[in-house]
Structure formats: structure tokens, C-alpha cells
Amino acid sequence: MSKTLAQLKKEIANLTREAEKLQRKEIEGVVVRIKEAIEAYGLTAADLGLGGAKRGPKAAGKKVAAKRGRKKADGAVKFRDENGNVWGGRGPRPKWLRDALAAGKQLTDFAA
């Protein structure tokens, strides 16, 4: 005899609850083992990649080198008008530029 949809849904719900209980139990065991390893090796959150300062000279050197290679976006002016108003081309267009465009000017007229 084949099962009805209601029976299958009930079985799925039961299996889902059973799987969740088993997962919680397994997680508890994993957490205990992780805590033991952290204590045994004196690991920090940074050692585990969870933030904070890295330990040792090698880790510090890598962090500094990575920062040096990264460039911050500069606030270069891309558009300006004769009144000294400027816009970098990021974010919403400023009112002075919207007004000028509405008056028939072209965006290229303001290229810096």
C-alpha cells in the first residue's frame, strides 16, 4: 500500500526533528573538542581567523603588506562648473548639476 501525502509529510516532519536532535548532539561534541584544542594549544580568536590581531612577526608582516597593496578610492573631481561646484561622479548627482542638466546643458560640459 502506498503512503498518502499526509503520511509522508508527517514522516518528513518526524525525520526532520530527529535530524535536528542528532545535529545538536554532534555539534555539542564538536564544540567540546574544539574548546579542548583551543585550551591545549593556547589559540586565540585571531589564530582561528575570527578577528583581532595576529600573533607572531610573520602574521604582522602579511597584514602590513596586504594593507600597502590596497588603495583607497580617491575623491577625484570628475565634474565641475564655473562657480566652483564639484562632483566626483559617485552617489546621487548634486542639485547644481541636476539643475544645469535640466536647463539643457550636457554632462560632458562639466567634465573636469
One-letter amino acid for residue 13 of the chain: A
Query: Across the strands, what pairs with 80?
Result: 86
- Flag whether the pTM goes above 0.75: no
Angstrom distance (rounded) from CA 85 to CA 104:
18
Q: What is the pLDDT of residues 38-94, one digit of tens each?
A: 999 999 888 888 875 555 555 555 555 555 655 555 678 899 999 999 999 999 999
What was the pLDDT predicted at 71?
58
Tell me the pLDDT tens digit for each residue of 1-30.
788 999 999 999 999 999 999 999 999 999
Supply the pLDDT for residue 25: 94
Domain limits, the chain: 1-51, 79-110
